[in-house]
Amino acid sequence: MTTSAIDIQQTAINTIRTLSMDAVQQANSGHPGTPMALAPVAYSLWADHLKYDPANPNWVARDRFILSCGHASMLLYSLLHLAGVVETDGVGEPTTQPSVSLEDIRNFRQMNSPCAGHPEFGYADGIETTTGPLGQGLGNSVGMAIAAKWLAATYDRENFELFGFDTYAICSDGDIMEGVACEAASLAGHLKLSNLCWIYDDNEITIEGRTDLAFSEDVEGRFESLGWRVITISDANDLLSLTAAYQKFKTTNDKPTLIVVKSIIGYGAPNKQDTSGAHGSPLGDEEIALAKEAYGWAHDKFSIPEGVLDHFQATIGDRGAGAYSAWSQKYEAYCKQYPSESAELKTMFAGELPEGWSDSLPEFDADAKGMASRASSGKVLNAVAAKIPNLIGGSADLAGSNKSNNDAEGAGHFSSNDFSGKNFHFGIREHAMAAIGNGMSLSGIRAYVATFFVFTDYLRPSLRLSSIMHQPVLYIMTHDSIGLGEDGPTHQPVEHLAACRAIPNVLVMRPSDANEVSQCYAAALGDKKRPTVLVLSRQNLPTIDRAQYASAEGVQQGAYVVKDSEGTPDAILIGTGSELQYCFKAAETLEGEGLKIRVVSMPCWKLFDEQSAEYRESVLPSSVTKRVAIEAGIGMGWEKYIGHMGQFIGMDQFGASAPADELYEHFGITAANIVAKVKSL
């Protein structure tokens, strides 16, 4: 390599560093040290190895780059600007505007700048996922690698290898410490995801100081035992070793790869070893001046030296454009030869569902015995999965209990021996399961994940990120209340409905019978911009006679009058899930005593809140203040619907270990208690 070529490489690397320093200093907020240290690592990947076309950032076959250590966000923003990644329009088509402009970088961490404190999905093209909480990006990366394997195994054909992209994730000591990352790494190793590469910045620094305060494990040994190939680079500035490591990853076909890069976190003065400054705060003008002096940098703030943009265009720009052009020609030929598959892919990558998919939603006959809503969910899931080819997912070791298996002929089980399988076995890794589901969703999959509802405690951070990123992941959560019985308080969700309902942009649905389950699927799958938590019972629920009561299509409005009285009701009974049946029984008793009773099913608060004021008034007229709500959970939030005059029947403590019927009687979640509450009003 000529001296001039080496010089422009170093100038490009130092441009990443100085943009990061200047942006953090101007914002007086942020983390400059990691972008400074990792600039060579990211530069080498982007300039020479990443299959990515900056002019087409939504190219479905692009390699994915994730900055899991999201606090180093200026590293990503600098790369997006220097590489010339363009902005896309409302339908995902590329424009001529930059995804991240120099003005955006000047406004790092300021209102309305896409350069937020941590990378936020949707703020700018080229940000593949939201990576604030450490470890989440690594979990997402496993989901993306899984999606690539599944897409390739399902849709690639002989001479048409189109979809097996690679996923790279840069991570920090903090990411590696987080439990979700270890869960995800374990599964990735088990599945032999050879298209997954994690680049670990082993700088031995966290916010509080040296990592040896709390971390002394053999990371390389751990990952080798998890089934990963481990490559160690002693100096993050060694571009030749970095290139060799990336090439070794690309030739590895039987396991994921961890590249451990030893770095010294960026500081101002050369060899400065204070551990408290650069990681979590601006350097200060004096330290920035010293750093730039060490780099031989003689340019103004936010400067991009001559030749740097041309260099990025000549590397990732030209290489990416060539790869995209070749892929597009091959894909055009594929579409002609395989029109059925290409039609599925077009629908999938547009984020749409196949035409007529909802026609597959089953209807259930009235049945006093009924079935558990987890069981009816299994039937609905199988019906719609037969029509939606990319509706795939699985359970955290509870598929039999969650009824989450796709039983269609040929659905198969995703494994290192069959990447086309539609049933996933996540193992007892609830948090990683949800993070992986997000990664799958970000790659065009309509992902679903399943476990017991109580274990939303284990996956809630990833559920929250599903919401933040507007990803329509379906959470199939069963064993929804004290109704699960003998497993006792540890397994009986009491506060979990309130906790999930508190997350903005999440649809929490608790259906009362099989037909409501079917309509919940219609609402959940029809929504492209938010996740749904489907909360399902272990015990049987009567299937309501819809000839006698209102259609379950009212679920689409969140709440509806399922049984009404003649004229203005004397009282309104509101129920969800397994408790709605007690409203019917109580209404029968009260009507026998001459009262007019309305029964309202309210499976989804959020959908109801989104209806017009007129509709909400028609269901819960303000003139009727005598209201009783019943739900086998805590009452937090119910005040909004029952008013200060209303009464709530539910839980104000943890459950107990006993058969379900005894528990309901013990805690007063009964029709008799509803009757008593109405009379007390």
CB 263 within 8 A of CB 201: yes
What are 105-123's pLDDT values in tens digits? 999 999 999 999 999 999 9
What are 148-201's pLDDT values in tens digits? 999 999 999 999 999 999 999 999 999 999 999 999 999 999 999 999 999 999
183, 287, 430, 516: which is the annotated catalytic residue? 430
Residue 57 DSSP label: T
Mean pLDDT of the 310-338 span: 98
* 3-325 maps to CATH 3.40.50.970: yes
pLDDT of residue 278: 45
* Cα 83 to the center of its chain, rounded Å: 27
pLDDT of residue 213: 87
Nearest by Cα to 478 from 558, 376, 556, 553: 376
Domain ranges of the chain: 3-325, 357-542, 556-680
Check pLDDT > 60 for residue 271.
no
Sequence-separated (6 or more) residues with CB below 8 Å from residue 310: none
Whether 103 is catalytic is no
How many CB atoms are closer than 10 A to CB 131?
A: 31
pLDDT category, 227, cuts 50, 70, 90?
Answer: very high
Nearest by Cα to 513 from 471, 459, 474, 554: 554
pLDDT category, 204, cuts 50, 70, 90?
Answer: confident
- Of 3.10.450.50, 2.60.120.260, 3.40.50.12160, 3.40.50.970, the CATH number of 357-542 is 3.40.50.970
Q: Measure the CA–CA gap between 218 and 231, rounded to whole angstroms.
A: 14
pLDDT category, 266, cuts 50, 70, 90?
Answer: low
Give me the percent of the chain exceeding a pLDDT of 70. 98
Per CATH, 3-325 and 357-542 having the same topology is answered yes
Nearest by Cα to 584 from 633, 543, 556, 555: 543
Q: Are strands 205-206 and 209-210 parallel, antiparallel or unpaired?
A: antiparallel
pLDDT category, 211, cuts 50, 70, 90?
Answer: confident
At 333, phi and psi to the nearest 5?
A: -70, -40
Please name the fold of domain 556-680. Rossmann fold (3.40.50)
User: CB-based burial of residue 369 (10 Å sphere; 0-12 exposed, 13-18 middle, 19+ buried)?
Assistant: exposed
Q: Measure the CA–CA gap between 20 and 73, rounded to whole angstroms.
A: 9
Give me the percent of the chain exceeding a pLDDT of 90. 93
Amino acid identity, residue 424? F
What are 338-364's pLDDT values in tens digits? 999 999 999 999 999 999 999 999 999
What are 623-634's pLDDT values in tens digits? 999 999 999 999
Check pLDDT > 90 for residue 609.
yes
pLDDT of residue 206: 81
Residue 313 DSSP label: I
How many CB atoms are closer than 10 A to CB 55?
A: 14
Mean pLDDT of the 468-479 span: 98
